[in-house]
Amino acid sequence: MIDLINITIKKAHDSLVKGEYTAVELARAYLDQIKKFDKDIHAYLSVFDDAIEQAKKADEIIKSGKAGMLTGIPIAVKDNILIKDKIATSASKILENYVATYDATVIEKLKNEGVVFLGKTNMDEFAMGGSTENSAYGPTKNPHDLERVPGGSSGGSAASIAGNMALVALGSDTGGSIRQPASFCGIVGLKPTYGAVSRYGVMAMGSSLDQIGPFGKTVEDAEILFDVIKGQDKMDSTSIERPKLKVESKKLKIGVPRDFLKIGGIDKDIIINFEESLEKLKKLDHEIVDIELPNLKYSLAVYYVIVPAEVSSNMARYDGMRYGKRVSGSTGIEDYFLSRQAGLGREVKRRIILGTYVLSSGYYDAYYNKANIVREIIKEDYKKAFKKVDVIATPTAPNVAFKIGEKIDDPLQMYLEDIFTVPINLAGVPAISIPSGTKKIGAKDLPMGIQFIADYGREDKLFFIGKNFLGEL
């Protein structure tokens, strides 16, 4: 029996190389787990029928002695990332049965490593949402409590790991879509520096904020995956090559924006857990200092002007004319309206309408331009802070996972779930969510997370502090 609960990339790699089990046996163990549990969790939108064939090829590489760290490692992929010849719906009816014609750059890199792709995971439609309830194919449930959400929009990827149905996974993060599900599901999730990972082949939501990143049960697993997918790509002009840096000191200065923690709406148990986490960091010989990020309070307002504006532009291509769902009317323009009406969900329509409004004549300067000006001010806040501290710490989310259906009809409540995560995307800096404890509700232990934020290109500091916090060093 393969221990899927405690397995890591390194453990799996060592076992595969030693011949303790094969890549086929490892893939089969995960496929059995999916078959057994995913009917209740619904982490996957599709499970690949060629997973065993992929594993056989990985076994050949292992036998030849050319195996890399990821050869034969089973991975789940969010359904907005393209894998050639596989269906990619972005959890939307308008892309029902759309088959990708090329690989995303991150997929190409992983194929070169010989990974085994298990399937595509559920998400909020076109990554718009924080609970995976906005999927056109039904919600994903949290493996820790099937009555609760796994977070979003990468909820399927997070749930696949928490439910032991994948070893690692890929998600995308525009305003917290990797970190918040990681917190809700009790796993590790990294939002890299903007531009660190190519976005070529990911369906764009907010182009100036989107970033692909890894999920894992350990910080080391997230780091191994990140090191493979990162790097400059000629197909993405926003991607950059950064040198691999190493933490200079084992004692870090950790900044805490105390004023920002007093904004209200934060579960008192989240605050207690956060303070306990800070005490733990002090015992690990790190210095905790109070810092000011005075303009962070404007982040949500800025984010929900910029994102809908970019959504309204990016969503124009989904018209039912070239691919995906098409509904015929009496005229060409009617086809367009009917296809979008039938093919797009409520949250997507809401953001398109908001975005079209803020970009319209007379409102562009009042909203969109002003939001971009404030965004630059928020970036400056982080720049000043990182001159004084190595990393910044906050809770990842203001609450533990909420019940399915609890907030779906209140967009403002749902948007407030992003309060700690969206400023990072606006600034373009990297951040990681690390499991920090649990809150008992009834018979269930619901995970909580702490978020560490670093300066541009300093993922090394996040990996160090995360490993230190979890006892991985």
Question: Is the separation of the CB atoms in 358 and 368 below 8 Å?
Answer: yes
Question: Is the separation of the CB atoms in 254 and 288 below 8 Å?
Answer: yes
Residue-wise pLDDT for 159-208, tens only, equals 999 999 999 999 999 999 999 999 999 999 999 999 999 999 999 999 99
Which candidate, 196, 231, 190, places its Cα nearest to that of 463? 190
List, in sequence order, every residue forming a beta bridge with 236; answer none if it has no partner.
Answer: 233
Element (H, E) at 141: none
- CA–CA separation, 100 and 298 (whole Å): 38
Which candidate, 193, 281, 266, places its Cα nearest to that of 469? 281
Q: Which residues contact 189 (CB under 8 A, 6 or more apart)?
A: 154, 158, 171, 173, 178, 179, 181, 182, 183, 213, 214, 215, 222, 432, 433
Domains of the chain in sequence order: 1-295+393-473 (3.90.1300.10)
The confidence band for 41, taking pLDDT boundaries of 50, 70 and 90, is very high
Chain CA centroid to CA 412, Å: 21
The dihedral built from the CA positions of residue 431, 280, 464 and 8, taken in this order, carries a sign that is negative
The confidence band for 264, taking pLDDT boundaries of 50, 70 and 90, is confident
Question: Is the separation of the CB atoms in 114 and 26 below 8 Å?
Answer: no
The confidence band for 281, taking pLDDT boundaries of 50, 70 and 90, is very high
Residue-wise pLDDT for 329-368, tens only, equals 878 788 878 888 888 999 999 999 999 999 998 899 999 9
Task: Please tell me the pTM assigned to this model.
Answer: 0.97
> Which of the residues are catalytic?
78, 153, 177
Structure tokens at 384: 């000043």
Q: What is the mean pLDDT of the chain?
A: 96
